[in-house]
Amino acid sequence: MNLQHCTPESVGIPSAAITAMLEELYAQGIEMHSFMLLRHGKVCAQGAWKPYAMDEPHIMFSFSKSLTSTAIGFARQEGLLSLDERLVDLFPDKIPENPSENLKKAEIRHLLMMGCGHETEIAWGANQQNDWVKDFLHHPFVYEPGTHFLYNTAGTNMLCAILKQKTGLSLTEFLKPRLFEPLGMSDIQCHELENGVSMGGAGCSLTIDDMARFMQFVSNKGQWDGRQLLGADWFDMATTKQIENAGAGWDGDPDWQVGYCFQFWRCAPSGVFRGDGAFGQYGIVMTEQDAVLVIQSASMKLQAVLTAVWQKLLPAMADAPLPEDHKSLHVLENRLKNLELNPMLGMRSPGAEQSLDGAVYVPDSTLPGFADILGGVGRFTPEGGSLQALSFHFDETGLHLESQQDNGSFTFDVGMQGHFAQSRVNGVLYGANGRWRAKDKLEVEMRNTRTVAGKRFVFQFVGDKLHITADSTIPEIGGLGEPLMNELTFTLKEGEVSTKTKMYWEVNG
């Protein structure tokens, strides 16, 4: 079923209010990737900031938790499990020899509400080799279950372990016939941990349309296209405050202090709840307004994103359709057609580009493939391959950077006219934008659009040497979750163009 589209005014939302929200997000320095706004089940505004795209999967981080919760809801509905089942009974071979009284009391429902009794979270990661289920159960259960909130991604992964134990299926395998296919969602992928259990606490990737369909389904309390797929009673529990979380961190931000549900958060405005992932992956349901807003972004200012919605959009929603406002709608539509991350001014250097065209540089040390050098926050599995050479090719549109590897040759297009160029490598959409920062320095911002952050590379040419340094596109995080890279060095390969290239940089470097 295709989602219906309409004008904002036809569902009681001023186009100017949506524009004001987008302007406020920009003013706050929020890097938006895509969004979709629905009211009464109809899409009234949507857009993606190039190089990101509406139909490309995007890492969701902890928004994945809401999908995991929904899977538990389906399993409960089908009698495959009960929320009252105890962890000690589910994993008798992994519990301590003398389990504590608090561990004995811990149930599935306590994992759902982030109240299993842990005081701290166990060490876990996307590629850890340890028996993390055993580690989880051996970790001290300090508090009586249900009395202490601790944001516990490992606890959500435990829900996936329980689901697999009960059904033999991964999170996405279980949800595919029950949720993804009936809702018309794409082929949802979720990273698997080393023991084969889905990383349902952080590892799913969805398109913005997938997010919208899922959150509209949640807003509908389990109904889709006239069918009640999951009972409304589940959502009465799953989106209602189950445990107090005030004072649990997040610097006192109001939307992190008003209660946690079953892998959903309550929000400060009346009747509002959300699914929530790191760096601003939001699925917001405004129940009193019958509206859904989904956002993919890359920001450390998480409260600022929500505050912009509460201040600019939420108060403007009317109870009935509004008169069409053609001028404001035109302004909004024009803005949505031209969304793009802040590009760098396209500064060209004809002499440098002419000297470099066709030049090949060989790494001075063993390096991973270029896609792995780029990395990206939220990318859990390396592409593989070893970089053998980088070659530079220029034309009127910009740079075509070729990565010659032991597993193939891959070309990344770099726009140098003030806009991102897009290219697809191994099925993944990349975007890149570049400029000459100095006569011997080429700056390139590059994104793997399935992740939230890319890198800003500086290619510096000195004689027959190429030095590459890079920073994350999110300044606050440094190299979080990415391969560390201080400086990579390459040597110009002898060949047809090497003499002119070397001479140019000796004179101009």
What pLDDT, on a 0 to 100 scale, did the predictor assign at position 482? 52
> Which of the pair, 431 or 251, is modelled with greater confidence?
431
Q: Where are the alpha helices (DSSP H) in 168-205?
A: 171-175, 181-183
Domain span(s) for CATH 3.40.710.10 in the chain: 1-56+207-342, 57-206
d(CA 319, CA 322) in angstroms, rounded, equals 9
Q: Which of 282-286, 435-439, 455-459, 476-480 has the lowest mean pLDDT?
A: 476-480
What pLDDT, on a 0 to 100 scale, did the predictor assign at position 344? 85
**Three-state helix/strand/coil letters over 198-224:** ECCCCCEEECHHHHHHHHHHHHCCCEE
Amino acid at 7: T
Of the candidates 114, 13, 5, 35, the residue with the CA atom closest to the CA atom of residue 316: 13
What pLDDT, on a 0 to 100 scale, did the predictor assign at position 500? 74
What pLDDT, on a 0 to 100 scale, did the predictor assign at position 417? 92
417-460 pLDDT tens trace:
999 999 999 999 999 999 999 989 999 999 999 999 999 999 99
d(CA 305, CA 55) in angstroms, rounded, equals 22
Contact status, residue 386 vs residue 489, Cβ threshold 8 Å: no
Domain span(s) for CATH 2.40.128.20 in the chain: 350-508
> Which of the pair, 13 or 194, is modelled with greater confidence?
13
DSSP at 282: E
CATH topology of domain 57-206: Beta-lactamase (3.40.710)
CATH number of 350-508: 2.40.128.20
370-421 pLDDT tens trace:
999 999 989 888 889 999 999 999 999 999 999 999 999 999 999 999 999 9
Q: How many CB atoms lie within 10 A of CB 258?
A: 17
49-75 pLDDT tens trace:
999 999 999 999 999 999 999 999 999
Average pLDDT of the chain is 94
Residue 203 has, within 13 A of its CA and on its CB side, a CA count of 25
What pLDDT, on a 0 to 100 scale, did the predictor assign at position 248? 81
d(CA 193, CA 160) in angstroms, rounded, equals 10
Quote the percentage of the chain above a pLDDT of 90: 86
Instruction: Please list the residues that pair with 292 across neighbouring strands.
Output: 38, 285
The helices-and-strands tally (H runs, E runs) of the chain is 16, 21
What pLDDT, on a 0 to 100 scale, did the predictor assign at position 505? 76
What pLDDT, on a 0 to 100 scale, did the predictor assign at position 484? 47
109-163 pLDDT tens trace:
999 999 999 999 998 776 666 889 999 999 999 999 999 999 999 999 999 999 9
Q: Would you tell me the crossing angle of helices 64-77 and 153-167 to the nearest 10 degrees?
A: 40
Contact status, residue 207 vs residue 58, Cβ threshold 8 Å: yes
CA 459 to chain centre: 28
Per DSSP, the residues of 115-138 read -SSBSSPPP--TT--S-HHHHHHH
319-329 pLDDT tens trace:
999 999 999 99
Hey, what are 495's tokens? 């060949």
Residue 413 has, within 13 A of its CA and on its CB side, a CA count of 17
Q: Would you tell me the crossing angle of helices 208-219 and 64-77 to the nearest 10 degrees?
A: 50
For domain 1-56+207-342, give the CATH superfamily. Answer: DD-peptidase/beta-lactamase superfamily (3.40.710.10)
**Burial class of residue 18 in the structure, from the number of CB atoms within 10 Å of its CB (0-12 exposed, 13-18 middle, 19+ buried):** buried
20-41 pLDDT tens trace:
999 999 999 999 999 999 999 9
d(CA 124, CA 348) in angstroms, rounded, equals 46
Quote the percentage of the chain above a pLDDT of 70: 97
